[in-house]
């Protein structure tokens, strides 16, 4: 399964607040599945969020104190990419495997966060409210949530899943819809908006 479809979006002041919300959104898609292979930077609280969302408390063996802390499963895969900076200069990049076999995790995820960083750049290009040091920041939280939802609905490219069944493969398509501003420079919302042509490209 290969896709660039965004499966979740959370807005908060810190990554510690975002991580549990994002993990809950991902679990809602596949409640019975294990957490997906994950690569993040060294910040945030994704390890704790994964444990709270998917972790299970071991069964009581009958000896000692009953366990109360959830534990990860053996098939989890989680990698942290830790970047060290001096001022604005990147000095070094190291990786740390949190869950899973180190060789297998690095083979599956690589040793970078390039894909999510590229997604963040795309969001900043399409949504001026996310640009750093900008005058177009949202003055109210509800405006930021509305603008982010608009980006997900109309601006972000859509890639559905390619499913392989034996020798047959079903390929869906990516759709990118470009929204043109009106004469006042506003982005129209609704059925009477000035929406330009829809660009459709095949996914592989």
- The per-residue pLDDT string of the chain (204 residues; one tens digit each, 9 = 90 and over) reads 456 677 788 888 888 899 999 999 999 988 889 999 999 988 768 999 999 999 999 988 888 889 899 999 999 999 999 989 898 898 999 999 999 999 999 998 888 888 888 888 888 888 888 887 888 888 888 888 888 888 877 665 444 334 444 444 444 333 444 444 555 555 444 444 443 333 333 333
Report the 3 state secondary structure along the chain.
Answer: CCCCCCCCCCCCCCHHHHHHHHHHHHHHHCCCCCCCCEEEECCCCHHHHHHHHHCECCCCCCCCCCCCCCECCCCCCEEEEEEEEECCEEEEEEEEEEECCHHHHHHHHCCCCHHHHHHHHHHHHHCHHHCCCCCCCCCCHHHHHHHHHHHHHHHCCECCCCEEECCEEECCEEEEEEECCCCCCCCCCCCCCCEEEEEEEECC
The pLDDT of residue 88 is 84
Q: With 0-12 CB in 10 A as exposed, 13-18 as middle and 19+ as buried, what is 21?
A: middle
The pLDDT of residue 186 is 52
Statement: the pTM of the whole predicted model exceeds 0.95:
no
């Amino acid at each position: 399964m290969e896709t660039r479809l965004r499966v979740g979006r959370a807005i908060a002041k810190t990554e510690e607040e975002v991580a549990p919300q994002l993990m809950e959104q991902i679990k809602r898609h596949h409640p019975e599945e294990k957490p997906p292979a994950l690569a993040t930077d060294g910040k945030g609280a994704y390890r704790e969020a994964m444990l709270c969302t998917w972790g299970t408390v071991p069964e009581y063996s009958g000896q000692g104190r009953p366990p109360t802390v959830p534990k990860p499963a053996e098939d989890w895969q989680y990698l942290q990419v830790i970047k060290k900076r001096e001022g604005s200069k990147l000095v070094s990049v190291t990786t740390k495997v949190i869950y899973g076999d180190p060789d297998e995790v690095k083979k599956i995820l690589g040793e970078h966060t390039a894909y999510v960083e590229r997604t963040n750049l795309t969001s900043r290009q399409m949504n001026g409210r996310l640009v750093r040091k900008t005058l177009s920041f949202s003055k109210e939280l509800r405006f930021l949530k509305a603008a982010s939802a608009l980006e997900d609905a109309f601006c972000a490219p859509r890639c559905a899943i390619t499913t392989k069944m034996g020798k047959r493969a079903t390929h869906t398509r990516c759709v990118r819809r470009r929204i043109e501003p009106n004469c006042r420079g506003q982005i129209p919302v609704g059925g009477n908006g000035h929406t330009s042509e829809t660009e459709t490209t095949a996914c592989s």
